Amino acid sequence: MYNYALKKEDSKIFIKHYEIKNGVIEIQLGSGEVYKEPYSEEKEKQLLAIEKAQVNISKMGPFIRRGLIESLGMILLATFFVSLFSQEFFQMENTALNILAGTVSGVGSLFFCSHFIDSVQTARDLKKNKLFLEIEEKINQYGKKDDLQENRVNNLLLGVDSDVRDLGIHYDGSYQLNINQIDALSLKDLKKLRANILSIEYFDQAFSNPVEKEKVHQKKR
């Protein structure tokens, strides 16, 4: 996930992602540092709980506001320098001043775009992770291998890309996901999984209720 810490000091304890290598958990922090711990199942559960909590307490608004404030600050700074240079070098040819002003303005615009785009991407990533938490329980419920519902996993993964399928498929044919895997999924992928979950629930209800079952048949005619 992206770094949702709004303060630099908080980035040092923000968990973006972790990997398990040779019995060691490597934790990528928001500050860019990597923290290592001996692996245990209990520690992994704790990390997943922390990642979920980070998503739950974060909001998208602050990132957009911060991006706008920082970007506007860059533009004001660029404007100040243009004004300063214009006063200091007022005897320079107009062409030189125009080039200088254009260069500074261009740099300011570049910073504006980069800061704003980063903020929008962070907000979008947070939106994706919040959606995952909304449907995580259903994904793992309908992804269980159940002989009584042998097509349930196929229905859950209907129309999703092969990479999404491979991400959560287990040796027994079940499909399970956790918050640490979400970097490999797009918002579009999660929306497709949500749509499939809604379809499963609709048909479960329809075929358990004779009236609804008849309505389904009438729609097919």
Question: CB-based contacts of 18: which residues, under 8 Å, 6+ apart?
Answer: 25, 26, 27, 28, 44, 47, 180
**How deeply is 96 buried, as exposed, middle or buried, from its count of CB atoms within 10 A (0-12, 13-18, 19+)?**
exposed
86-145 pLDDT, tens digit per residue, is 555 544 455 555 554 555 555 555 555 566 677 778 888 999 999 999 999 999 999 998
**Residue range 27-55, pLDDT digits in tens:** 999 999 999 999 999 999 999 999 999 99
